[in-house]
Structure 1
Amino acid sequence: MFDRIRNTFARAISSAVTSVVAQYDAGGTGRRMRGWRPPSSGPNRATSQAPKVRDRARDAARNDWAASAGGQRWVTNLVGTGIVPRAKRITNKAQKQKATDLWDRWTKQSDADCVLNFYAQEALVTRSWIESGEVFARLRWRRKGSMEVPIQVQVIEADYVPQLDADTWPGLPVGNKIRQGIELDRFGARVAYWIFKAHPTDFASGNIDKSQLIRVPADEILHIFEPKRAGQLRGVSEFSSVLVRLRNAEDVDDAVRERQRIANLFAMFIEKQYPTSPDGIDPMTGQAIDYGSDGTPVAAMQPGISQELLPGEKVVFSNPPGASATYAEYMRTQHLATAAGQGLPYEILSGDIVNVSDRTLRVIIQEFRRFVEQRQWHVVIPMFCQKVREAWVDQAVLVGALPMSLADDAKAVEWAPHGWEYIHPVQDVQGKQLEVNAGFRSRDSVIAGKGDDPEQVDEERAASKKREEELGLQSAPTSGAAGPADGTRSNPDSNKPTK
């Protein structure tokens, strides 16, 4: 009996302790958390206001320097001059050169709007994705003979695909459904997109009817966005978490600028004591006295003006306050948060590197580059670049521009993003040379990391060496801390270098 009571009491204590320990403070309903009532929204219900966020993000990018600079920094780092494909699996040199030349010629004609080349389209797609949260690209097949490889890419804004939800719709196959403008089959796979024939702001807004939309198969549409939650169908602007802060900071900055503009209107007023004259003639000068016919100042208020007053008039100077002593720090703090919300280092967003050492800056840039590479290989390359390449190869094979035997190898390209500049040119080069000499990495990987083609670099080196020999030129020897330039390595047990 005693043991039963003891066990029951022990279980009660254990249960009470477990119930107290095994909980999250963030999930509590105490005094501090009572007012925090977040909505329980699914991944797609949460993006229902994405169009309004998109409009505000675009407005901020047009008018706010921080938003404009943030979008530009992302485009510059993600794309640079272009993410270039290299057909590494095509071993035949002539065939590889043929495929490369064919692609290079096509990139000049890739834009269905006939404005940009393919690498500029990469930048446009990236900019639209960052600002608007998503962007679409449509593959447009052309007639055989109109182009060497008859296919083009049309970049279309997210506005073209409406936030349309429907279980029945004219032309919708039985069993399929439309969610946020995307047609899904009964397994949830994307099978088509319902797209406006023209930009929706080009015609009167209202209810969507079947005459405004066309159904485009999913294999002709590339949807570029970065899902934040599993099952998310549409993207949200990268600026969504900082738009309110951007607006508030701009309002404060604008108020301070206006206050300073008013403060700059400080003027000096001179009051002259005119003698009394019934005929209005100054007895000292013989000139007519101008008292002012309507009582208005002779000149408009301007910075630094010296203004005369009528006799007997006085003025009380205003003393508008200047910018607060904490203004600069306040704005910097706001933009620190803005930069973090955009995934950018503050120093890169603003260009402000005051009191930042080169060692600290190196750590900041390296961390940012890791994030950039993640987005390159998770979003830009697989969602846009690789899909365009595969469609291009299929069309090139279809019209006979490439042989069928090269199709798989031509698709399996290695994408080379624009290489990073050295943070410290001497130390970075020496470090890479040490890695190659120690066998930790290949020389080709160093060249590819700079965005260059190792084979092309070798050909250029060989051609340069041959030309120097023909002209009787002698290259200046190079030396550095990483070791001799002739490829030898020092032997610690001897004064002679060893191969």
Structure 2
Amino acid sequence: MTRTNWRARVGAWVGGFGLPGGFDATSGQRRLKGFTTSRAHVNALIAGAGPEMNARARWLVRNNGYANNAIESWAANTVGNGISPNSTIATPARKDALQRLWLAWTDEADAEGLTDFYGLQRRAAREVFMTGEVFLRFRPRRADDGLVVPLQVQMLPSEMLPLPHNAVAAGGNVIRQGIEFDLIGRRVAYHFLRRHPGDSTDPGLSGETVRVPASEVLHIIDPAEAGQLRGVSRFAPAIVKLFLLDQYDDAELDRKKVAAMYAMFVTSPAPDIPLKPLDPDAPLDQYEVAPGQVVRLDPGEEVTVSAPADSGGTYEPFQYRTLLQISAALGIPYGYLSNDGAKGNFSNSRLSLIEFRRRVAAWQRSVMVFQMCRPIWARFIDTAVLAGALRLPGYDRRRGEYLAVDWLPTKWDWVDPLKDANAEIAQIEAGLKSRTQAIAERGYDAEQVDREIAAERDRERRLGLDFRRPGSPAQGPGAGDPNADQNEPDQNAADPNQDPTQDTAPQEGP
């Protein structure tokens, strides 16, 4: 065999559907004969299918109850009451001033004035689930606009950045799907439409774009593949089944509607002689039957009552299995998608919730916090310092220290909170976790909680009250004795002058 023939034969083996005994997944035999795939990159697929896919996803959310319930469940679990910041500034007074200013600004954050910052988080979570992405634009304001910090955030839907916009900009920058990149691949600008392409009520110029620097834009996206530029709707693998299931439900509803009607068919042996109604003014094709009525028929005529077929026992299992597939495609537990609490026991439901919440926590950290919360927090502090609304000495040198923050999502609620609370108390008492960690997991600041608890204890002492559970570790000595002197110092209390790192246990001997 010559070298050329050998290479040709090996090339035929390797370049075909696979070597004998290889991977069935690449075979072209009977089972996979109709399995055709595309080798196009995800960006090319989004460019061709993105607008129609997003339009169908929005249609389903507006018209399909399951789709609407899924997106509401996703927003409620990923954002809830809001993912709030907890500054780690060491100086309590500066931290308190920063947190108070942030809380005041959150009510003014939305450029449209429709919600607060945490409402923007919820809207962003909905948009990313529905179309795969959303854009936020920083809008600096004038000092005389009356804002506590002259900054607002404007939300722009996916359709505002045109997918077909591909060109070479001045200086050699490349514009791909509306995003401008420099020569080393960094995003430098976004070319937004001046008005929404589907909003005919906006009198703005249709089709015109405006270049916005990338430093003023946040692109919130959960990319599924490497090199992906634009988002893909979470509804993509579920659109077909959601739509077909909706059609199937409509057909079954019509079947039930017809079955509930009382319809009769009159058969006459002389079809050339139409049956005349008793009322000469009634239409020839209309016959009404009243309760207890005696109907007179001509000789030879028969009456047949319609009996449409029922859906039988296959309707419920088919619905359930189809909704399970839709649930898996959307990443939403079946109970959250359908509001059906009858199926599944407590243990199975809890296991599915644990898996769902792990996914949500990962999305919160990698998408919502990293892409939205962090940059907005940094821009807020920068603007507040420059505007004189916040005084942080040495900010130019210690910016990283002042920007340090922990983002606290809303606490998860369980079906049996007592067991979970007891388990958490046991972990704290065993030293497996700290109170600070436990409080942070609930979405609160441990220092703020401790200050509130101290203030409540002080008020209880002044009023002679004690709402703590008897035997609780939170109770001090004599707390259960109403006659105890609350002003008497605790003999077991630690000496404030004692080094807390030293052993304070009593020593043996004289």
1:47 aligns to what SS in structure 2?
helix
The answer to whether the Cα contact below 8 Å between 1:196 and 1:214 also exists between their aligned partners in 2 is: yes
2:143 aligns to what SS in structure 1?
coil
Residue number in structure 2 paired with 1:434: 426
- Residue 242 of structure 1 and its aligned partner are, at CA, apart by 0.4
Q: Does 1:316 align with 2:313?
A: no
1:230 aligns to what SS in structure 2?
coil
The answer to whether the Cα contact below 8 Å between 1:447 and 1:453 also exists between their aligned partners in 2 is: yes
- Residue 439 of structure 1 and its aligned partner are, at CA, apart by 1.0
Residue number in structure 1 paired with 2:280: 293
| TM-aligned CA distance change 1:252 to 1:409, over 3 Å | same
The answer to whether the Cα contact below 8 Å between 1:269 and 1:309 also exists between their aligned partners in 2 is: no
User: How far apart, CA to CA, are the structure 1 residues paired with 2:265 and 2:174?
Assistant: 76
The answer to whether the Cα contact below 8 Å between 2:129 and 2:233 also exists between their aligned partners in 1 is: yes
Cα displacement string for residues 128-149 of structure 1 (whole angstroms, at most 9, x for unaligned residues): 1111111111110111232221
User: How far apart, CA to CA, are the structure 2 residues paired with 1:94 and 1:186?
Assistant: 46
User: How far apart, CA to CA, are the structure 2 residues paired with 1:317 and 1:459?
Assistant: 78
| TM-aligned CA distance change 1:308 to 1:471, over 3 Å | farther
2:110 aligns to what SS in structure 1?
coil
Alignment partner of 2:467 out of 475, 483, 493: 475
2:45 aligns to what SS in structure 1?
coil
User: How far apart, CA to CA, are the structure 1 residues paired with 2:356 and 2:401?
Assistant: 33
What are the residue-to-residue correspondences of 1:260-279 with 2, within 5 Å?
260-266=256-262
TM-score (norm: length of structure 2): 0.81
Residue number in structure 2 paired with 1:244: 240
Larger mean Cα displacement after TM superposition, 347-356 or 309-318: 309-318
Letter in 2 for 1:448: A
Residue number in structure 2 paired with 1:230: 226
Counting matched residue pairs gives: 444
TM-score (norm: length of structure 1): 0.82
The answer to whether the Cα contact below 8 Å between 1:478 and 1:485 also exists between their aligned partners in 2 is: no
User: How far apart, CA to CA, are the structure 1 residues paired with 2:315 and 2:337?
Assistant: 19
User: How far apart, CA to CA, are the structure 1 residues paired with 2:98 and 2:474?
Assistant: 36
The sequence identity of aligned pairs, in percent, is: 34
| TM-aligned CA distance change 1:467 to 1:380, over 3 Å | same
The answer to whether the Cα contact below 8 Å between 1:292 and 1:310 also exists between their aligned partners in 2 is: no
The answer to whether the Cα contact below 8 Å between 1:339 and 1:349 also exists between their aligned partners in 2 is: yes
Cα displacement string for residues 391-445 of structure 1 (whole angstroms, at most 9, x for unaligned residues): 1111112112223535433422110001111342222111111111111111111
- Residue 318 of structure 1 and its aligned partner are, at CA, apart by 0.7
Alignment partner of 2:190 out of 190, 193, 197: 193
Residue number in structure 1 paired with 2:5: none
| TM-aligned CA distance change 1:388 to 1:309, over 3 Å | farther
User: How far apart, CA to CA, are the structure 1 residues paired with 2:456 and 2:201?
Assistant: 63
| TM-aligned CA distance change 1:306 to 1:55, over 3 Å | farther
1:178 aligns to what SS in structure 2?
strand
- Residue 475 of structure 1 and its aligned partner are, at CA, apart by 2.4
| TM-aligned CA distance change 1:253 to 1:414, over 3 Å | same
Q: Does 1:448 align with 2:440?
A: yes
Q: Does 1:55 align with 2:42?
A: no
- Residue 472 of structure 1 and its aligned partner are, at CA, apart by 1.2
- Residue 297 of structure 1 and its aligned partner are, at CA, apart by 8.8
| TM-aligned CA distance change 1:42 to 1:269, over 3 Å | closer
Letter in 2 for 1:56: R
What are the residue-to-residue correspondences of 1:72-471 with 2, within 5 Å?
72-88=72-88, 90-146=89-145, 147-168=147-168, 172-203=169-200, 212-266=208-262, 291-296=278-283, 309=295, 312=298, 315-404=303-392, 405-406=394-395, 407-471=399-463
1:137 aligns to what SS in structure 2?
strand
Letter in 2 for 1:326: T
Residue number in structure 2 paired with 1:496: none
- Residue 306 of structure 1 and its aligned partner are, at CA, apart by 6.5
- Residue 484 of structure 1 and its aligned partner are, at CA, apart by 6.1
- Residue 294 of structure 1 and its aligned partner are, at CA, apart by 2.7
- Residue 466 of structure 1 and its aligned partner are, at CA, apart by 1.4
Larger mean Cα displacement after TM superposition, 24-33 or 115-124: 24-33
The answer to whether the Cα contact below 8 Å between 1:268 and 1:306 also exists between their aligned partners in 2 is: no
1:353 aligns to what SS in structure 2?
coil
- Residue 298 of structure 1 and its aligned partner are, at CA, apart by 12
Cα displacement string for residues 294-336 of structure 1 (whole angstroms, at most 9, x for unaligned residues): 344999979x967664653753211111222110110111111
- Aligned-CA RMSD value: 3.0
| TM-aligned CA distance change 1:23 to 1:298, over 3 Å | closer
Gaps of at least 5 residues in structure 1 are 1-11, 271-289, 489-498
User: How far apart, CA to CA, are the structure 2 residues paired with 1:309 and 1:269?
Assistant: 13
Larger mean Cα displacement after TM superposition, 391-400 or 102-111: 391-400
| TM-aligned CA distance change 1:107 to 1:449, over 3 Å | same
Cα displacement string for residues 6-54 of structure 1 (whole angstroms, at most 9, x for unaligned residues): xxxxxx9xx99xx858832212222322321201011211212111100
| TM-aligned CA distance change 1:330 to 1:399, over 3 Å | same
